Structure 1
C-alpha cells in the first residue's frame, strides 16, 4: 500500500479504502489509485525482465532472400525488447531434408534453448520433433507457415488464406477488361502457408471470376533458374497466359521467361519485400507485392517465449499480422522490414 500511495500521491488510508471498496473516496481519486496500481504492475514487469537473458534458436527452411529479411527484422527489433536480452542462434538452409531438419531440432533440445522460432514443412516428423522440444520445456513458435497439429505455443505471421484472397481480388480488378489465364506458381506443397495462400486465391477467384482459367506450376523450388524454365514451358503451352500470382518466389526467373517469350504479363503479384521484388516493383515488371510486418512477427514471437517462461504476466497470444499491398508508390525506402504506408 505504501508503494501505491506514493505512486498515486495519496495517503495509505485512502489506498486502503479504495482496495476494500469503502465509501468516502471521490471517483477521481479511485481512478487515480487504480491507475497507480496498473503503472506499478507494468514497472514490476520491467524489473522482472531486467537482466533476463533468452537464447533462442531461429530454424528456417527457406531461400536466402527471405531469411535475410527475417534476420534484419530481428536485428532491428532486438533493442526494443530491452530490458530483456535476447540472443539468436541461426540455423538457416535453402533446402533442408526433413530428417536433417528434425535432427537439428533434436540437437537444440539436447543443448537447451529458451525457445525455437520455426519455419518448416507441416509434416508428422516435424510435429513429433516439436513435441519432444515441448517435453523439454522448450517452447516453439511457428513463423509465416504453421504446423497446427503440433504442440507449438503460437503461430506468428499473416493470415495466409486472406493473403491469397487479397491477391485474387487484385487480379480480378486489374484484369477486368483483359481475357486470358492466370499462372499460379508455388515453391513447395510441404509448407502449409503456401497451400493456404493458394486455397484463398482459388476460392476467391471462383467467387469473383469463375470463368477465368488458372494454370498451376507446383513444386518450383522458388529459385530463379527453375522458375525460368518452368514458366517458359507454361508460356509455350498456354498462349493466353496474361497474369502471375507467385506464392513462393523465383520472380526474376518468371520475368525472364516472359521476356524471352516476348510475352506481356498484365498483372504480376508476389510476396515479401526482398531486394529482388523491390527492384521488380520499381522497374514496373511487378504490379504489387503482398507484404506484412516482419518486425511485428519477431516481436510477437519473443513475447510468446517470454510469456511461456513467466517473464511477462501472461502468455502472449499474438494475432495475425496486418496484410499490406505494396506498389512503387508506397514502397518503404529506408527499412526493408518496416510496414509500408497504407494507400
Structure 2
C-alpha cells in the first residue's frame, strides 16, 4: 500500500496502534478486513489534508506596496490584517509600504528594496513604464491589487472588474434618468491608474451604447484635496445647468462629500449619484440618500486570494494560479450596512 506518510501519522489518524498499522501496510496475516479499511481511510484523510501539513509552521513574509490616498491605504491594511488569522496553519507576516506621494520614483525604490527578501509582493500602483520595469526586477511572486499592470510579470490580478464596474455605473444612471435629458459629471483622481482608466472606458462605452446621447464633463482631483474638487465642480456648475447625474470613480478622502456640498451651495439638485467603495464616508452619504448607489467589492476576499496565489506560486498550495476579478456589488440605501465594512 503506497503512501508518503509515517506509520506514526497513520496510526494517530486511524486511532490504531503503530504495530497494527505496520501489519496492515506489510500485508501480514491476522488483520481484520475492517481494520484494513480503517487504515486505508486514514491514509485517504491524510492525503486530503496534506496541504495543511505542508503549511503547518510555515511563515511567509509578504510586502504590501500601495500608492493611494491614506483612507484607501488604511482600508487595504485593515482588510489584510482581518484575513491573516483565517490563513492558518500558515503564518503570514505583512510589511506595509503605504505611499501617499504621487512619485513614481518612491514606488520604484520600495520595489527594488523589497524584491530580494520577500516571499511575495502585493502591489497597487500606476501602470507606468518605470513601475512595470521595477516589477520585472522582483524575484518574488507579484500580485497586482485593485488596479492591474498587465505588462508586468504578475502571477495574477485581484480586485474589481473595473471595466464592468464602469459599465454598471452607466447602466444605473441611464435607468434612473430614463428618457429625460441631462448631462453627466465624471469625477476621477490623479495619476495613471489603469483601474480608473478602465472604469471610465467602460462607463463611456455603455453610456454611448445605451442612449440617449449625453454630454460628459470631467473634474479631476489632481491634488487629492476635497476643497479643490469642490472648487472645480462649482466652476463647472456656474456655467452649466444641465448636469443631472454624477459618477465618482475614485477614492479620494472627502471627495464625494465635496461633490454633494458643491451642488448644495449652488442650490443645484441632481437626480443620481453613483460612487465606488463602501467606506465610512460613502456609507453615511448613502444612508442619507445623497448617494444613489455605491459600487463595492470585498477587499478582504481580494487580499485573501492574493495570499493564496502567493502560496500557490511558492508551491505549498495546490492548483494553478488563476485571474478571476471580483464581481461588482451594487449597494443602495436598502441594503447598506449599519456601519462601515471593508
When the two structures are superposed, what TM-score results if normalisation uses the length of structure 1? 0.85
1:201 and 1:222 map into 2 onto residues whose CA distance is: 22
CA contact 2:166–2:200 (8 Å) conserved in 1 = yes
1:271 and 1:280 map into 2 onto residues whose CA distance is: 12
1:226 to 221, 225, 228: 228
1:314 equivalent in alignment to 2:319: yes
1:208 equivalent in alignment to 2:214: no
> For 2:132, what is the secondary structure of its paired residue?
helix
> For 2:62, what is the secondary structure of its paired residue?
strand
Structure 1 gap segments, 5+ residues each: 17-29, 338-343
1:183 and 1:39 map into 2 onto residues whose CA distance is: 58
1:107 to 82, 96, 113: 113
1:85 equivalent in alignment to 2:91: yes
Q: How does 1:153-232 map to 2 (within 5 A)?
A: 153-232=155-234
When the two structures are superposed, what TM-score results if normalisation uses the length of structure 2? 0.85
Shift of 1:166: 0.5
Shift of 1:331: 1.5
Report the equivalent of 1:336. Answer: 341
Shift of 1:335: 5.9
CA contact 1:146–1:193 (8 Å) conserved in 2 = yes
CA contact 1:164–1:200 (8 Å) conserved in 2 = yes
Shift of 1:39: 4.3
Report runs of 4+ in structure 1 exceeding 4 Å deviation. Answer: 2-9, 35-39
Report the equivalent of 1:54. Answer: 60
CA contact 1:77–1:299 (8 Å) conserved in 2 = yes
Root mean square deviation, CA, Å: 2.9
- Greater mean deviation of Cα atoms: 89-98 or 281-290: 89-98
Cα-to-partner distance string for 1:12-37 (whole Å, 9 max, x where unaligned): 9x999xxxxxxxxxxxxx9xx7x977
| Number of residue pairs aligned between Structure 1 and Structure 2 | 321
CA contact 1:189–1:195 (8 Å) conserved in 2 = no
Q: How does 1:116-131 map to 2 (within 5 A)?
A: 116-131=121-136
> For 1:182, what is the secondary structure of its paired residue?
strand
CA contact 1:98–1:125 (8 Å) conserved in 2 = yes
In structure 2, relative to structure 1, the CA distance for the partners of 1:167 and 1:82 (3 Å cut) is same
2:295 to 287, 290, 295: 290
Larger radius of gyration: 2
